[in-house]
Amino acid sequence: MVTLLTNFWQTTGFANMTWQEMVMLAVAGILLYLAIGKAFEPLLLVPIAFGMLLTNLPMSGVMEIGDTVLRAISPEAAGETARMLAEPTAEMLREGIPVEYYTESPGGLISYFYRGNQLGIFPPLIFMGVGAMTDFGPLIANPRSIFLGAAAQFGIFFTFTGALLMGFTAQEASAIGIIGGADGPTAILVTAMMASHLLGPIAVAAYSYMALVPIIQPPIMYALTTKEERVIKMKQLRTVTKKEKILFP
């Protein structure tokens, strides 16, 4: 009986769970709580946390890439194979034309993400989705705020320099440094082009820290401002019409 229970335990995910997976599952739980319970950027934190949860489930197979094998069939080696293949392929073999085909073992969810990234499908979709969600109303009502956005780009150079000093290559430092611009889609695109092996960590880091701004900002604001400055009431911006938003781009 003990042997039976031991064998059963060894086939479960709990027996194969590492401490790193436990930590990431705890982080996923915290992010889900912040997104759902505290309503902190649920649009970003819920999919990020759910992805963490799926990825770190033991023996889930989500991170399996899968294998793709290229096989070439010549008319001489085909033999009876031509009769078992689809009619167009069999006809090509009869005419003496070499045929190539792929055999693929299915991978996990990550394999589809890699395929979409390799084919250039996901980056444009991300940019299009973020662009459709962006509200330019505050910028139209107060054009001077564009200088604040321009100043934020200096963070790219600081982050790039810091990554170089930590031993990353120039390509990796560029992918990491783009996070300093506080732009998740751009970080994903640059990383996919220059350091694709860091795509996962950089995407999670970029979106996580942007989503956690409501938690990170208050201590910094209290440290850099006085009580009198914090009670100043800002003037409300004017209402921007739909026509202005349509004509703005």
In this predicted model, what pLDDT tens digit does every residue of 66-109 receive, in sequence order? 665 545 455 454 455 544 444 454 554 455 555 555 545 666 77
Reading the block at residue 6, the tokens are 């031991």
Q: What is the per-residue pLDDT for 214?
A: 77
pLDDT in tens, 170-187: 999 988 888 877 677 778
CA distance 102 to 215: 49
What confidence score (pLDDT) does residue 87 get? 47
Ranges in the chain, pLDDT < 70: 13, 61, 63-107, 182, 249
C-alpha 198/C-alpha 59 separation (Å) is 23
Residue 86: predicted pLDDT? 46
Against a cut of 0.75, is the pTM above it? Answer: no
Q: 100 phi and psi, to 5 degrees? A: -120, 140
CA dihedral 166, 169, 172, 177 (to 10 degrees): 50
**CA 140, CA 244: separation in Å to the nearest integer?**
8
Q: Return the residue matching tokens 């604001």.
A: 221
Q: In Å, how far from its chain's centre is CA 128?
A: 15
Q: Are 69 and 103 in contact (CB under 8 A)?
A: yes
Return d(Cα 122, Cα 115) in angstroms, integer: 9
pLDDT of residue 26: 92
pLDDT computed for residue 65 by the predictor = 66
Parallel/antiparallel/unpaired status of strands 99-105 and 67-73: antiparallel
Mean pLDDT, all residues of the chain: 76
